[in-house]
């Protein structure tokens, strides 16, 4: 989804995350040119050097002005890029809640475009519950979300490995852990029954999150927060400076609340 941005009071431009990243690289290159190329030139040598520079002399004031302009743009682009993933999820969820899904289903084009590679903007760890489908809940398309699901959205070695792959290898900047209302895995763990087979190991990962004085939904919120904390402490997630947030999805309203 594209959003409208403006560097100054002008009408601005529309961009998605990939476009913002491209603009950031472009503006960094412009700044480097003004900092390095022009500072190394004598007065009479201020001539064309590619990257949009035209064939004429530049005054020192002009060069300083350009450096300030590009530095300011870089700062704005870095801020927009940092805010983009969480805003995109919030806006997508608002569309879903309002029943106004904006995404056009053009899967043939999406498949072709994505066959070259993926650059998902968010990792979502959530429950396998059939009513909690991240791409639908956040109104996102193919290639947008790196989704990890298991009953009770628990963190284990495989989940951490998947998250590490996304943040380190794919450069995904945001990790969301999303619990939900009426979660069967949290309910079963709260009830403390003797659970059969491998369900037991899921409950063991949920149990430390629980406060028996809380209701099921508050425990699901607590559990998502604890899983988010575990992920935030992961060395690769830390090293890559990825943001980790906990969320809670309400089955009835469709609303995602952010913790
Ligand atoms: Zn669940």
pLDDT band for position 42 (50/70/90)?
Answer: low
How much distance in Å is there from the Cα of 107 to the middle of ligand 1?
Answer: 29
- Name which residue leads in pLDDT, 248 or 62: 248
How much distance in Å is there from the Cα of 179 to the middle of ligand 1?
Answer: 7
pLDDT attached to residue 55: 44
The answer on pLDDT for 124 being more than 80 is yes
- Tell me the average pLDDT across 140-150: 96
- Tell me the average pLDDT across 204-229: 95
The per-residue pLDDT of the chain, averaged, comes to 90
- Tell me the average pLDDT across 102-130: 91
Both tokens of 142, joined, read: 């193919």
DSSP string covering 107-151: HHHHHHHHTT----SEEEEE---TT--HHHHTT--TTTEEEEE-T
- Tell me the average pLDDT across 210-237: 96
| For the chain, domain boundaries | 3-93, 119-258
Please give the Cα distance from 100 to 116 (Å, whole number): 30
Most confident of 6-20, 32-46, 192-206, 218-232: 218-232
For residue 99, how many other CB atoms are within 10 A of its CB?
A: 7
The answer on pLDDT for 207 being more than 90 is yes
- Name which residue leads in pLDDT, 9 or 94: 94
How much distance in Å is there from the Cα of 151 to the middle of ligand 1?
Answer: 6
Least confident of 15-24, 177-186, 235-244: 15-24
Please give the Cα distance from 87 to 138 (Å, whole number): 11
How much distance in Å is there from the Cα of 181 to the middle of ligand 1?
Answer: 8
pLDDT attached to residue 52: 52
- With a CB cutoff of 8 Å and minimum separation 6, the contacts of 50 are none
Q: Tell me the residues surrounding ligand 1 (ion) with CB < 5 Å.
A: 127, 129, 183, 185
How much distance in Å is there from the Cα of 117 to the middle of ligand 1?
Answer: 31
Give exposure, 143-178, as e/b (b: 16+ Cβ within 10 Å): ebbbbbbbbbbbbeeebbeebbebbeeeebbbbbbb
How much distance in Å is there from the Cα of 240 to the middle of ligand 1?
Answer: 29
pLDDT attached to residue 41: 57
The answer on pLDDT for 38 being more than 80 is no
- Tell me the average pLDDT across 176-201: 94
Please give the Cα distance from 14 to 5 (Å, whole number): 6
- Tell me the average pLDDT across 185-191: 95
Please give the Cα distance from 217 to 259 (Å, whole number): 13
- Tell me the average pLDDT across 63-70: 88
Please give the Cα distance from 206 to 208 (Å, whole number): 6
Assigned CATH topology for domain 119-258: Beta-carbonic Anhydrase; Chain A (3.40.1050)
């Amino acid at each position: 989804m594209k959003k409208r941005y403006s560097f100054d009071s002008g009408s601005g431009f529309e961009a998605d995350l990939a476009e913002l990243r491209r603009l950031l690289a472009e503006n960094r290159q412009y700044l480097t040119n003004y900092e390095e190329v022009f500072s190394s030139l004598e007065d009479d040598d201020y001539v064309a050097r590619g990257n949009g520079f035209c064939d004429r002399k530049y005054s020192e004031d002009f060069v300083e002005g350009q450096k300030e302009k590009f530095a300011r743009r870089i700062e704005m682009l870095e801020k927009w890029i940092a805010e983009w993933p969480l805003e995109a999820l919030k806006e997508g969820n608002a569309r879903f809640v309002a029943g106004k899904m904006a995404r056009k289903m053009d899967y043939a084009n999406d498949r072709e475009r994505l066959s070259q590679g993926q650059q998902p903007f968010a990792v979502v760890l959530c429950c396998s519950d059939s009513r909690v489908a991240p791409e639908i809940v956040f109104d996102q398309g193919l290639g947008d979300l790196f989704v990890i699901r298991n009953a009770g959205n628990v963190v284990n070695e495989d989940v951490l490995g998947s998250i590490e792959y996304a943040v380190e290898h794919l450069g995904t900047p945001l990790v969301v852990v999303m619990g939900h209302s009426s979660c069967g895995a949290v309910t079963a763990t709260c009830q403390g029954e003797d659970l059969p087979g491998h369900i037991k190991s899921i409950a063991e990962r949920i149990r430390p999150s629980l406060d028996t004085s809380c209701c099921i939904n508050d425990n699901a919120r607590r559990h998502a927060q604890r899983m988010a904390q575990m992920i935030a402490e992961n060395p690769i997630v830390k090293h890559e400076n990825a943001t980790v947030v906990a969320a809670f999805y309400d089955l009835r309203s469709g609303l995602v609340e952010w913790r």
